[in-house]
Structure 1
Amino acid sequence: MSHPVFKTIAISTCIVLLMGLTGCTKKEAEENLILNIGFQKYGVLPILKARGTLETELKKQGVTIRWVEFPAGPQLLEGLNVGSVVFGESGEAPPIFAQAAGSNLVYVANQPAAPKAEALIVPKDSAIQSVADLKGKRVVLNKGSNVHYLLLRLLEEHQLDLDDIEVVYLPPADARAAFERGAVDAWVIWDPFFAAAEHQIQARVIADGSNLVSNTQFYLADRRFAEQQPEILKTLVTELDRTTQWVAQNQKTAAEILEKPSGLSLDILETSISRMGFGVRPISSDIVTAQQKVADAFYAQKLIPTKLNIQDAVLSEQ
């Protein structure tokens, strides 16, 4: 049985496997190579898609791009695991859960830490003034997400644990509704939902991730694709890096690009973009160490069934 990735990278009647040819030359096969990339409504990948620079560069290598949209990181990584895409973007938490489930993903690159892009917030008129005031309160968050780790670290810093609060697990849209109607006392959330709550309902920040968490954005790939197509992967990382550098210098224009797909206003998007980490770099040992801490914390809370070794999901040459 062929690996699912072959069905998505090599879409051609002449191609049976990634580079396995039946009656076609290698050059003809490469000219028909289709690369499926997963993206979400917000982030660097939709900006890269809109600008078209990756298509220009990969066309030189005989590669065509097919963009596949996903509602969130976990669904994108599931798409990567079943072979509907071979490359995508996600925050810290989804790849940990995917690795725990036996996914074939590998970490390829990351943006710098963006700790200010996630926070613990309360309604503007709340009596809560510090993390210590959360004792006995209802705190809503998305289970197993980056902010789950932020909450653990915030509680730890203030000599509290999960038993000291009442945790409510809801996805962002439902969490926002519960937050607005007063069904919960605090919300741990990430951008752009965080920026939207600040702008639209004047939510107040109790603490962000500064000096506590990295909140790193990762670029991930199917392992076999990453191992067999290093030049294409190199082009992807290079264009992502160039795109984030462009975004850093053109934040308003970047916000305008994201306005329609995200459905968010320019002021919200500009706030959110300003808190991004700019630049895309290969995975370093420091990043592996930081991600290992997140995985260990999730294992300690029984959010994942097995203890992971993050290095196992990093390309050996990195």
Structure 2
Amino acid sequence: MHTPPTSPRRRALAFLAALALACLPALALAAPPQAIRIGVATAGGGDPLTWGGSPGGVVRVNHLLEDEFKASGIQVEWLFFKGAGPAVNEALSNRQIDFAYQGDLPQVVGRANGLKTKLLLPCGARNNLYVVTPPHSDIKGIQDLKDRKVSIFRGTNGHLVAIKALAANGLTERDLKVVNLDAGSAQAALVSNGVDAAFGGYEWFKLRDQGLAKVIYTTQGQDPALTRQAALLVREEFAKEHSAEVQRVVDVFVKAADWSSDEKNRSALFDIWARSGTPVASWAAEFDQQDLAVRNSPLVDAFIIARYKAVVQDALKLKLIRREVSVDDWFDTRYLQAALKKQGLEKRWPAFDAKGRPLPGSAFVATVR
């Protein structure tokens, strides 16, 4: 039987059809996501739920991401976790969220446990830590915590700083009767005299101002190594499939960081953060004598990298993780650098060395208030 020769036109059509079939998986990967899900390592507060102390709170309250993706038909979902960093890690592991705002220690623990993530940018640096007691307590300083019942929220970014503060005063966790409580539970326990003292953050100023607690220790104004860092990260798989959307998210967070770093916006910034239920007075206390541009900078500088490396080493010593994890290849600054260039912000923030000092040539001038 004679088979007629295939015409050039038919051969071309067959080639194009085969090419289209071969490209189907790639096209599927390139399709934009239906939703962008962001996990926040705090229970949050207000209606709708939000949080403060970070440019991320500005993104949330001002609907900046929702506005960015509205025309694209992409939904933005915010999920808040009372269990803080450890609960966020579980959500990442189960692929329930795409991005996460959380502290340095839980991020390190997640990486050590095999979570495939990329750190995109700091989103709330140099957060302070405090120790509070009931108002009429005889505890005057950290040394007095020996053999006392003390609340520490283990596994969070305040945990390691608490251990460092104890060590600086000749104590370890074993010298205390430690109770592992989240922020809300710790407040209830302190007010009811269920614990003798508690470590925590800015949330304690509200109780202090109500006469229900007193601050007996603060890292504010001390060595920057005694501060906590928070950052925005993304699941590696999501970033590979949706790099364009990751860039847009980073663009929005950098824009919010720029606004949040402007001293002219200090009052307005605290008002926005107060929508989380933490009063303006608490933010004023947390940021007292501190420059917004330092606390809200998105730069991945030598200080940020050094702090993450220190967290890794401290977590290893305390057996919070079983293996060392790399840091240098964890930060993916391509999106950040692109955002800074696009928005003309390449010289917006000062860079700091590993010890938290402005690098030579930095234009940074501290503003004392």
TM class, shorter-length: 0.7 to 0.9
Q: In 2, are the aligned partners of 1:114 and 1:215 still within 8 Å (CA)?
A: yes
Aligned equivalent of 1:98: 110
Q: In 1, are the aligned partners of 2:85 and 2:155 still within 8 Å (CA)?
A: no
- Letter aligned with residue 88 of structure 1: A
2:15 equivalent to 1:20: no
Q: In 1, are the aligned partners of 2:165 and 2:226 still within 8 Å (CA)?
A: no
TM-score normalized by the length of structure 2: 0.68
Q: In 2, are the aligned partners of 1:99 and 1:313 still within 8 Å (CA)?
A: no
String of CA shifts for 1:191-232, please: whole Å, max 9, x gaps. 3x2332322324223232531423111110011333454443
Alpha-carbon distance in structure 2 between the residues aligned to 1:65 and 1:38 = 14
Q: 1:74 aligns with which of 67, 74, 86?
A: 86
Aligned equivalent of 2:322: 305
TM-score normalized by the length of structure 1: 0.78
After superposition, residues 221-236 of structure 1 pair within 5 angstroms as 221-236=234-249
Aligned equivalent of 1:253: 268
String of CA shifts for 1:104-139, please: whole Å, max 9, x gaps. 2221110363243x2122223222222222222222
Please, which moves more after superposition, 262-271 or 93-102? 262-271
- Structure 1: 5+ residue stretches without partners: 1-15
Change (3 A) 1:286 1:45: closer
Aligned equivalent of 1:197: 207
Change (3 A) 1:156 1:196: same
Q: 2:78 aligns to what SS in structure 1?
A: strand
Alpha-carbon distance in structure 1 between the residues aligned to 2:39 and 2:125 = 22
2:296 equivalent to 1:278: yes
String of CA shifts for 1:240-297, please: whole Å, max 9, x gaps. 122133234434434444445x33444335545667721222x345423311211222
- Letter aligned with residue 114 of structure 2: G
Q: CA deviation at 1:152?
A: 1.1
Aligned equivalent of 1:177: 188
- Letter aligned with residue 302 of structure 1: K
Q: 2:307 aligns with which of 290, 294, 304?
A: 290
Q: 2:152 aligns with which of 124, 141, 154?
A: 141
Larger radius of gyration: 2
Q: CA deviation at 1:316?
A: 8.4
Alpha-carbon distance in structure 1 between the residues aligned to 2:328 and 2:111 = 11
RMSD between aligned residues = 3.1
Aligned equivalent of 1:13: none
Q: 2:99 aligns with which of 69, 84, 87?
A: 87
Alpha-carbon distance in structure 1 between the residues aligned to 2:80 and 2:274 = 17
Aligned equivalent of 1:151: 162
- Structure 2: 5+ residue stretches without partners: 1-23, 45-49, 338-369
Q: 1:213 aligns with which of 213, 219, 226?
A: 226
Q: CA deviation at 1:79?
A: 2.4
Aligned equivalent of 2:37: 36
Alpha-carbon distance in structure 1 between the residues aligned to 2:239 and 2:216 = 40
Aligned equivalent of 1:263: 277
2:122 equivalent to 1:110: yes
Q: 1:195 aligns to what SS in structure 2?
A: helix
Q: In 2, are the aligned partners of 1:237 and 1:280 still within 8 Å (CA)?
A: no
Aligned equivalent of 1:123: 134
Q: CA deviation at 1:140?
A: 1.0
Alpha-carbon distance in structure 1 between the residues aligned to 2:62 and 2:327 = 33
Q: CA deviation at 1:147?
A: 1.7
Q: CA deviation at 1:149?
A: 0.8
String of CA shifts for 1:43-86, please: whole Å, max 9, x gaps. 333421332333444457x4624223222333333323322221
Alpha-carbon distance in structure 1 between the residues aligned to 2:312 and 2:161 = 13
Q: 1:182 aligns to what SS in structure 2?
A: coil
Q: 1:21 aligns to what SS in structure 2?
A: helix
2:181 equivalent to 1:164: no
Q: In 1, are the aligned partners of 2:127 and 2:227 still within 8 Å (CA)?
A: yes
Change (3 A) 1:57 1:108: same
Change (3 A) 1:264 1:161: closer
